[in-house]
Amino acid sequence: MEGQVCNIGIERKLTEPCSIVIFGASGDLTARKLIPAFYHLCKDGLMPPAFRIIGFARREKSDETWRKELRVALDQFSRTKPVDDGLWNNFAGNLFYCVGNVTDAAAYAKLEQKLNSFQNPKLRHNLLFYLATQPSQFGQIIEQLHNARLLHKEVGEGWQRLVIEKPFGHDLASAKTLNNELTRFAHERQVCRIDHYLGKETVQNILMFRFSNSIFEELWNRESVDHVQITVSEKLGVGDRGGYYEEAGALRDMVQNHMLQVLALVSMEPPVSLEAESIRDEKVKLLKSIRPLTAADFAKQIVRGQYFAGTVDGQPRPGYRQEAKVKPDSNVETYMALKLFIDNWRWSGVPFYLRTGKYLPMSASEVRIQFRPTPNVLFAAECGKKLDPNALTLRLQPNEGISLRFNGKVPGMSLGVRPVRMHFSYDAEFGAYTPEAYERLLLEAIAGDATLFIRRDEVETAWQIVDSIRDGWHGKPLTNREFYAAGTWGPMAADELLAQSGHAWHEPLVIK
């Protein structure tokens, strides 16, 4: 192996015992993501030597029943199979279930009793509260925790932190209300707002890649970059989440959080250090530099769409309006494309194109930096007017890695030039060890490192951008031009959005 590993961050070694309380313990997220993540942290020796996980939900069940259910889920969702029986049995011994309604003060007294039954005082006072219920219940849970003296804003015995699942509000006003509720009973430093994209290796690698490679960072500006494309495409439709999607739509579900986060990481200025606040300061600065959309810009820069019946992989798929729990005349967008400008010194005039949608031809997330073309004076006679410009693609998922496209001579007697690629793939370079995003995020939450969580001003700035787009729609119904067939790359208007500037969407790279 060439080169040495330089561990810039702290190798996480959690030594302080703690208890994790999951509100929403009988739900989908707990079974599919949280418990598998805790199991793997345990497997990798990363959990504190002593810990307890207490599940809290209304459904009646014993510790033993909950453990059995979680084991069945783990067999299905674990990233390593088969599940190790010995390890599971040790792990499962730390799982406890507390029946209760989040609205009921007596339930918090029961939770306290459970915590008090632990011998080690650190297991009673070092507490991570994971809020995985409906977002409308978050405020109430925090207040009840405060009333039960389980959550302390002032420094007291041990530490308490809150992990808040997405969505964080549904507009700026509701996000502010939730932030006010949170900061009534906890300091900002005790709050971990989750965006699971930030837990992905490839997303964390954006900063590593940008700021540890001079050959790219030197080019990372308006002088060299022609435009940037960020694609988060999904091959699935809304499935059984129609009820949720009717409230969210692509803009709230994807753009407000994941896509604006990726945009910020790709385009922010270098932070003064790798401290959480330095990184988050730069992200907020960047989000604030996004040019606000005027009514005139709106038509030229924003495209929405909704899928109608089509085929994906040769299989017929229903239209969005025919999905369960979706209104038959719904105007909710299942597709969004945006052209944004960042009004700062580095990016002035460079378009950033973002697109996301359901029932697109493939599931892929990537960032494509397209560089300016060379002045094609040398090859114009042989190769036509335009040489393909260089492009760097950060493949976030799947086929995680980075690809660089440049031009090369086609072997032979003639002077043919065509684009070729260099690929870096995580699996090929580092083997198959890729922790799930939730593993990293849970570890950071227990350690109290806020870098991978969203700060209050960050979430509010993102909502400001999203609200301005929603305001631009004025509740207008979708027009015919805004529909696309399931299994295609979105409405025609999305292609026209780029064509106005002589650009075109690039299909996400598939590495064989």
Ligand X SMILES: NC(=O)c1ccc[n+]([C@@H]2O[C@H](COP(=O)([O-])OP(=O)(O)OC[C@H]3O[C@@H](n4cnc5c(N)ncnc54)[C@H](OP(=O)(O)O)[C@@H]3O)[C@@H](O)[C@H]2O)c1
- Which run of H or E residues covers position 280? helix 276-288
**E strand map for 277-334:** 302-308, 310-312, 315-317
Contact between 59 and ligand X by CB under 6 A: the answer reads: yes
d(CA 9, CA 494): 41
Could you tell me if 377 and 354 are in contact, meaning their C-beta atoms sit under 8 angstroms apart? no
Q: Near ligand X by CB under 6 A, which window of 165-173, 291-299, 318-326, 336-344? A: 165-173
Could you tell me if 263 and 313 are in contact, meaning their C-beta atoms sit under 8 angstroms apart? no
- Residues contacting 63, CB < 8 A, separation 6+: 95, 96, 97
* Burial tier of 400 (Cβ tally within 10 Å: 0-12, 13-18, 19+): buried
Q: Near ligand X by CB under 6 A, which window of 55-63, 68-76, 225-233, 494-502? A: 55-63
3-state SS class at 424: strand
The tokens describing 301, both together, are 């820069």
Q: Residue written as tokens 């810990």? A: 51
Could you tell me if 497 and 303 are in contact, meaning their C-beta atoms sit under 8 angstroms apart? yes
Contact between 132 and ligand X by CB under 6 A: the answer reads: yes
Of 72 and 415, CB closest to ligand X: 72
Residue 366 — φ and ψ, nearest 5°?
A: -155, 160
Single out the catalytic residue among 170, 227, 258, 506: 258
Q: Residue written as tokens 């080169």? A: 3
Among 58, 110, 176, 503, binds ligand X (CB under 6 A): 58
Among 17, 24, 271, 490, binds ligand X (CB under 6 A): 24
Query: Cα 379 to the chain's mean position, in Å?
Result: 43
Contact between 149 and ligand X by CB under 6 A: the answer reads: no
CA distances from 96 to 1, 21, 25, 51, 52 (A): 45, 9, 10, 11, 8
d(CA 193, CA 341): 26
Site size toward ligand X, by CB under 6 A? 20
Q: Near ligand X by CB under 6 A, which window of 20-28, 73-81, 405-413, 461-469? A: 20-28
Among 42, 73, 83, 135, binds ligand X (CB under 6 A): 135
Q: Near ligand X by CB under 6 A, which window of 19-27, 120-128, 264-272, 403-411? A: 19-27
- Residues contacting 76, CB < 8 A, separation 6+: none
Contact between 166 and ligand X by CB under 6 A: the answer reads: yes
Residue 282 — φ and ψ, nearest 5°?
A: -70, -35
Contact between 163 and ligand X by CB under 6 A: the answer reads: no
Contact between 351 and ligand X by CB under 6 A: the answer reads: no
Contact between 148 and ligand X by CB under 6 A: the answer reads: no
Of 167 and 490, CB closest to ligand X: 167
Subset of 401-440 contacting ligand X (CB under 6 A): none
Residue nearest to ligand X (CB): 27
Q: Near ligand X by CB under 6 A, which window of 28-36, 76-84, 200-208, 296-304? A: 28-36
Q: Could you tell me the smallest distance in angstroms from the CB atom of residue 239 to ligand X?
A: 12
d(CA 307, CA 357): 9
Strand 315-317 versus strand 364-371 pairing type:
unpaired
Residues belonging to the chain: 512
Contact between 247 and ligand X by CB under 6 A: the answer reads: no
Q: Near ligand X by CB under 6 A, which window of 18-26, 319-327, 461-469, 491-499? A: 18-26
Among 19, 78, 94, 133, binds ligand X (CB under 6 A): 133
387-392 own/partner pairs: CB under 8 Å, 24+ apart: 387/417, 388/418, 388/419, 389/226, 391/506, 392/216, 392/368
Contact between 192 and ligand X by CB under 6 A: the answer reads: no
CA proximity to 166, closest of 176, 175, 157, 158: 175
Of 97 and 347, CB closest to ligand X: 97
HSE (side-chain half, CA atoms, 13 Å) at 105: 5
Contact between 251 and ligand X by CB under 6 A: the answer reads: no
Known catalytic membership, residue 258: yes
Of 104 and 427, CB closest to ligand X: 104
Contact between 256 and ligand X by CB under 6 A: the answer reads: no
Of 100 and 357, CB closest to ligand X: 100
Among 29, 309, 509, 511, binds ligand X (CB under 6 A): 29
Contact between 65 and ligand X by CB under 6 A: the answer reads: no
Q: Could you tell me the smallest distance in angstroms from the CB atom of residue 341 to ligand X?
A: 30
Query: In sequence order, what are the beta bridge partners of 305?
Result: 335
Among 20, 57, 367, 392, binds ligand X (CB under 6 A): 57
Compose the 91-120 pattern: x for residues touching ligand X by CB under 6 A, - for all others: ----------xxx-----------------
Contact between 48 and ligand X by CB under 6 A: the answer reads: no
Of 134 and 500, CB closest to ligand X: 134
Radius of gyration of the chain (CA): 24
Q: Could you tell me the smallest distance in angstroms from the CB atom of residue 27 to ligand X?
A: 2
Query: In sequence order, what are the beta bridge partners of 53?
Result: 20, 95
Of 146 and 241, CB closest to ligand X: 241
Residue 321 amino acid letter: R
d(CA 319, CA 306): 8
**E strand map for 260-334:** 302-308, 310-312, 315-317
Q: Could you tell me the smallest distance in angstroms from the CB atom of residue 12 to ligand X?
A: 23
Q: Near ligand X by CB under 6 A, which window of 81-89, 127-135, 210-218, 367-375? A: 127-135
Q: Known catalytic residues?
A: 258
Q: By the criterion CB under 6 A, which residues form the site for ligand X?
A: 24-29, 32, 57-59, 101-103, 132-135, 165-167
